[in-house]
Structure 1
Amino acid sequence: MTMMAPSGVIAPPSPKTLGDMKLSLVMMRDILLKTMFRSNVEQVTALARAIALPPRVTQELIDIGREQNLIEAMGTLHATSSAEMGYHLTESGKSRALDSLTQSEYYGACPVPLEVYRAQVERQSIKNIALSREALTGAMGHLILPPTLLDQLGPAVGSGRSILMYGPPGNGKSSISNGIRDALGDKIYIPRAIEYSGQIITVYDPIVHTAAEELVDDPNALRRTSNAYDRRYVYCQRPTVITGGELSLDMLNLVYNPTARTYQAPLQLKSTGGVLIVDDLGRQSEPPQKLINRWIVPLEESKDILAFQSGEKFEVPFDTLVIFSTNFHPNDIFDKAALRRIFFKIKIDGPNQADFLKIFALVAKNRKMPLNEDALRHLLTVKYPEIDNIYANYQPIFLIDQIIAICEFEGIPRQMSPALIDRAWANMFVQHEAIEH
């Protein structure tokens, strides 16, 4: 039976037998042995939770261990305890667990084979999202944006294709990126780890992935289905990975842990099914053109190529909405071939005077700062002509927070005046002058 999550995403089916796992029996057996050795878990239901498999499949695995004299039954503990059988490792089992740990420290949840994960990625693809204008408007409700901007953003986000947002700094490109993330709204299944060619790659990262609340079944219901999915996955919000000036090409490769002898997924693999925001493009140590060249195959073919320490290369799904954000003009940092591969280019400009005043009034209201007509007239007719009337979205917050800080220092109620505007303005821009060393 196909199970549908509340978000409408088809859940990964829970394996019913060891054959459904599509993993080598030796790998699964050794993960069980290492888990028993490291966590001292003895009963089937607890072991099943530890290795993220159904109890029936876990019992199959235990039975194989018993046949190979690696696991033995302990019997029930006493009359008041659970009727469940307990198991522990034999001396041969402990020896095998230690030997396996020298090859890989990984234990716990069994991994998902890459091919099985690939099918789940298709079921929950970012390209399957039907994003409505209402959802996008709701997520951007705290921002004052030109009406035409949503007309551009809607089709861009709904397509699941790459987006380049560019324009002068301080006009909300990062806030818009976060709003896009919030507009997605639904949830998907993230594998704890995936397996390829006998190697294990951890994917689920609690820093990146936000686990969703599980549905609780009605205890009186005849059939319980709300949580009946493959427990090797974690039900999460669609992930958002944000990287900025610290991004380097090395961060897009598998990370090998020589102690654990396992791999960690790179940023783009962790963001599968969600959003990858590359903020402040042009501030990295790598040239933007070099970074974008790394994305050419993923952006065009929806697949990425990774490599193990051995040099063996393999394909993984690339199902990510990539949002590039830069303060530079695209023509200054990319060639035409690179720009052609970024599907949507959206300019995020500063507000006009009317929108600036709306933002200023909204911030003042939120900060409980009373507006003053003389102060506003001074700001618009005296101060802004000094910078050719170039408005930016960050300026109202900056100016009002500066005035609040001054009022608190002076011990006066929150208020606005031309003199306070002048003091706040002095901190927004640094006068260019030579400094003797």
Structure 2
Amino acid sequence: MSDPLKDLLSQLAGNGSPNGGMDDPWQLVEAIAPDESEDEPSPDKSLEEMIQRINNMASRKPAEEEVGAFAEPVRSAQATPPPAIKLEEDHDTPFYPREPATLREAHLTGSEVEALCLKYLLTAGEASGREIAAQVCLPFLILDEVLRKMKYDQLVVYKDTAQAGDYVYYLTDLGRERARRYNEHCTYYGAAPVSLKDYVASVQAQSLEGQSPSVDALESAFEDLLINKTMFRRLGPAINSGRGLFLYGAPGNGKTSIAERVTRAFGRYIWVPRAIGIDGEILRVFDPAVHDEVPLEDGPGIMQQHRIDRRWVRIKRPTIVVGGELTMESLEISTIQSTGVSEAPLQLKSNCGTLVIDDFGRQRMSTDELLNRWIVPLEKRYDFLNMRGGKKIQVPFDQLIVFSTNLEPRDLCDDAFLRRIPYKIEVVDPTEQEFRQLFDIMCPLMGFTVNSEAIDHLIEKHYKSVNRPFRCCQPRDLLMQVRNLCLYENSPLQLTRQHFDDAVENYFAVM
């Protein structure tokens, strides 16, 4: 303690005389107190600084604000960009979805995620937070906030501890009742849906129309088929166009085989969402029946530098083939009333791939119905679909449509539709030389040694003498007949005149 202060205290206590000639003790305190008027801001200055800070906080951009667990997604066109980025270094998958960091980036609301969690717990009974996150395909850090909010609302309780920072959750009576109400609307509790806007952006990034397969890519795609140079030269531009293609000609010449291999000329993989969310409705897109999933491989690489949104699935670029079973209902959204889950139509599942209408003209619906349904989508490259609640949505119509038929196209379609299918290619019969080449290709594949003498006998006796046309499928089919006969008789696999005579008798019995 300083000496002046000691003297002051002594003076106040009556134990000393006034210090320094000062009669008033408060004058002494004022004299020894430091002058802080220059260091401390004035009240007006402090108020001005506070107002300035408030103005700065109010003018902060939305992107800098904190996003809570139940933040509403931005619906406008200037919203947060879709959780997908493009990698120039990866030619197989030029587009892939990035894992969202918040519900806003995922374009989800807390209520949507809450409904999925409650319905899953109602079915599973109990589950840890990470198990629920794996079920709805969202990062655990995002879901943990939602689960904490559900715990605060007394919808779930902790039943046990799990891994570090995680718990086993169990529904309360209130949570069970709310889950049942959610189930009445829709029973879906799979992966959280992707927004329609994000799906449209993914189709645009992976479209066939923006690609131009090279000659080498086409040769690789058709390496297992025998196609003459004239046919190949006509197919190339048609495939490059990424638009409609009409294949017609006699049956058995490989129209379906050509159509199935068209997709190979483009990139191998694409990403599709497991489901799309549209105003509370669920539209399932990924279908294991027509899509071949290709999971990412573990290991170093550019794909490992970014976490992937698990709501999307990497698949082989789709090729969907439908024939006489095609109906008008297959081209519209179908909804199971008991579950409330909607299924995407075939043209939506085949986006960024190929849709083959095989045996065109033999469907249960008339060709006019099909052509009238698609005459606008083929021209505009987009389609309109009706949701269960009556809402009409616009979706991409971005696939290579291949119509394959052995009927005369002029008898099936009018000029207005044929104009929208820019390429019409006739698949002609093979020449005798190509027919022999097919035997050379197929014999080793089926375990036979090529016997030119037996093949000459087959061609002279069963083709030329009766004016029977060659077909591309016949070498394979006849060799299969011979192979089955040899296996039945327990004899070596070999080509003989007699074997071919027996095969022809069975194969062409009513042809």
TM-score normalised to the size of structure 1? Answer: 0.90
1:60 aligned partner, one-letter code = E
Please tell me whether the aligned partners of residues 215 and 227 of structure 1 are also in contact (alpha carbons under 8 angstroms).
no
8 A contact 2:195–2:276 mirrored in 1: yes
User: Following the alignment from structure 1 to structure 2, what is the Cα–Cα distance between the partners of residues 40 and 318?
Assistant: 41
For the 8 Å contact 2:96–2:308, the answer to whether it is kept is yes
Deviation at 1:215, TM superposition (A): 2.8
Give, as a single letter, the amino acid of the residue that structure 2 aligns with 1:176.
I
* Structure 1 residue 315: Cα displacement: 1.4
- Contact 2:439-2:450 at 8 Å conserved across structures: no
- Note closer, same or farther for the CA distance 1:387–1:277 as it changes in structure 2 (3 Å cut): farther
Q: How do residues 23-422 of structure 1 correspond to structure 2 at under 5 angstroms?
A: 23-74=108-159, 76=161, 82-218=164-300, 225-226=304-305, 228-422=307-501
Match of 1:435 in 2: none
Q: Give the C-alpha shift of residue 289 in structure 1.
A: 3.1
- Give the secondary-structure state (helix, strand or coil) at the position aligned to 2:436: helix
Distance 1:431 1:67 in 2: 76
How well do the aligned residues superpose, as a CA RMSD in angstroms? 2.4
Using a 3 Å threshold, how does the CA distance of structure 1 residues 287 and 215 change in structure 2: closer, same or farther?
same
- Displacement of 1:205 after TM fit? 1.1
Q: What CA deviation, in whole Å up to 9, does each residue of 1:370-411 have, x standing for no partner?
A: 344443333233321244251110111122222333344445
Q: Is the 8 A contact 1:292 1:338 kept in 2?
A: yes
Cα 1:314/1:406, change in 2 over 3 Å? same
* C-alpha deviation, 1:146, in angstroms: 0.8
Structure-2 change in CA distance of 1:108 and 1:310 (3 Å): closer
Aligned partner of 1:51: which letter? V
Could you say if the C-alpha distance between residues 152 and 64 of structure 1 is closer, same or farther in structure 2, counting changes exceeding 3 Å? farther
Is the contact made by 2:244 and 2:400 (CA closer than 8 Å) also made in structure 1?
Answer: yes
Distance change in 2, residues 1:409/1:17 (3 Å): closer
Letter paired with 1:13:
R
CA distance in 2, matches of 1:65, 1:127: 46
SS in 1 for 2:236: helix
Q: Does 1:7 align with 2:92?
A: yes
Find the aligned partners of 1:431 and 1:92 in 2 and give their Cα distance: 71
Q: Aligned equivalents of 2:185 and 2:357: distance in 1?
A: 36
Q: Is the 8 A contact 1:289 1:338 kept in 2?
A: no
Structure label with greater radius of gyration: 2
State the 1:83 CA deviation: 4.4
- What secondary structure sits across from 1:214 in the alignment? coil
Partners of 1:132 and 1:50 in 2: how far apart?
Answer: 41
Describe the shift of the 1:366–1:21 C-alpha distance in structure 2 as closer, same or farther (beyond 3 A): closer
Separation in structure 2 between the aligned mates of residue 411 and residue 24 of structure 1, nearest angstrom? 68
CA drift of 1:328 comes to 1.0
Q: Aligned residues: percent identity?
A: 34
Indicate if the aligned counterparts of 2:98 and 2:306 stay in contact, CA closer than 8 A. Answer: no
Q: Separation in 1 of the partners of 2:250 and 2:233?
A: 20
* Aligned residue type for 1:142: D
Q: How far apart, CA to CA, are the structure 2 residues paired with 1:181 and 1:45?
A: 38
Letter of the structure 2 residue corresponding to residue 164 of structure 1:
F
What code does the residue aligned with 2:148 have? D
Q: Is the 8 A contact 1:113 1:194 kept in 2?
A: yes
Q: Secondary structure at the match of 1:263?
A: strand
**Compared with structure 1, are the counterparts of its residues 387 and 291 closer, same or farther at alpha carbon in structure 2 (3 Å cutoff)?**
farther
Q: Structure 1: which 5+ runs fail to align?
A: 433-437
**Partner Cα separation in structure 1 for residue 182 and residue 447 of structure 2:** 63
SS of aligned partner of 1:11: strand
User: Structure 1 pair 42/375, CA: closer, same or farther in 2 (3 Å)?
Assistant: closer
1:430 matched to which residue of 2?
509
1:25 offset after TM fit, Å?
A: 3.2
On the 8 A contact 2:135/2:190 being kept in 1, the answer is yes
2:103 maps to amino acid: L
* 1:373–1:157 distance in 2 versus 1, CA, 3 Å: closer
Q: CA deviation at 1:6?
A: 6.0
- Is the CA contact 1:305–1:315 (under 8 Å) kept in the aligned structure 2? yes
- Counterpart-to-counterpart distance in 2, 1:418 and 1:427: 15
CA contact (8 A) 1:160 1:321 kept: yes
Q: Is the 8 A contact 1:114 1:194 kept in 2?
A: yes
Structure 1 residues 6 and 96, CA, compared in 2 at 3 Å: closer, same or farther? farther
TM-score (norm 2): 0.78
1:224 and 1:205 mapped to 2: Cα distance? 24
Give how far 1:84 is off.
2.4
Deviation per CA, 1:277-323: give whole Å up to 9, x if none.
11111221222232222211221111111113444322111111111
Deviations 1:186-219 (A, max 9, x none): 211111111113211111111111111313245x
Q: CA separation in 1, counterparts of 2:123 and 2:369? A: 44
Structure with larger RCO (C-alpha < 8 A, sep 6+): 1
Amino acid at match of 1:2: I
Q: Which residue identity is paired with 2:149?
A: I
CA distance in 2, matches of 1:319, 1:60: 38
Q: Which residue of 1 aligns with 2:66?
A: none
- Provide the aligned length of Structure 1 versus Structure 2: 426
C-alpha distance in 2 between matches for 1:293 and 1:177: 23
How far off its partner does 1:162 sit?
1.4
Of 138-147 and 183-192, the range deviating more from structure 2: 183-192
